[in-house]
Amino acid sequence: MKLIVMRHGEAEAQNTSDKTRNLTEYGIQQAKNAGHWLSKNFAEFAQLDAAIVSPYNRAQQTFHALASAVKVSNVVTAVELTPNAKVQKVQKLLFNFCNSRPNTQSLLLVSHMPLVSYVLDDILMTHQANLFATSSMAIINYDIERGTGRLLQFYHPMSEQQISK
């Protein structure tokens, strides 16, 4: 299965709570650009089977901006993807989600730092947490049963470039 781990777009610095922080105009554009890049460079990602998104405003807004270029068949909101969630809970969420939907071939996670970094590290077993810029995406060939995978590509929006492994 192809797993895309994405950090939300650039968000406003403050709001009444962390949960209600919104994307900036630049953050919305970042997420749209990421969606366009994904659909242009990976034909199989023009239609994703599913997305699991953090309930925080900025993650939800990132998903909706990205979805202007990429169609998603099934969208779920999950508290397991909030900024300080535990990697083990994310792995359990992935396992349960994919086993309850065995035909899932492509899945997008939209979450936050530091969680996206820890999730990528756990899946790749690298023991070096990678930093995600806003709207960065890691595309992984993911083994559901093992909870591990291989990095196929990393998209970094700041320079609109991607890094292949």
Q: What is the pLDDT of residues 16-75, one digit of tens each?
A: 899 999 999 999 999 999 999 998 887 777 789 999 999 999 999 999 999 999 999 999
Instruction: Report if residue 19 sits inside a domain.
Output: no
Please check whether residue 10 is in contact with residue 24, taking contact to mean a CB–CB distance below 8 angstroms: yes
Phi, psi (deg, nearest 5) at residue 75: -120, 130
- Helix ranges restricted to H, 25-152: 25-41, 57-66, 87-100, 115-124
User: Mapping DSSP to helix (H, G, I), strand (E, B) and coil, where does residue 46 land?
Assistant: coil
Bridge-based pairing state of the strands 71-77 and 106-111: unpaired
Number of domains in the chain: 1
Domain containing residue 38:
2-13+24-164
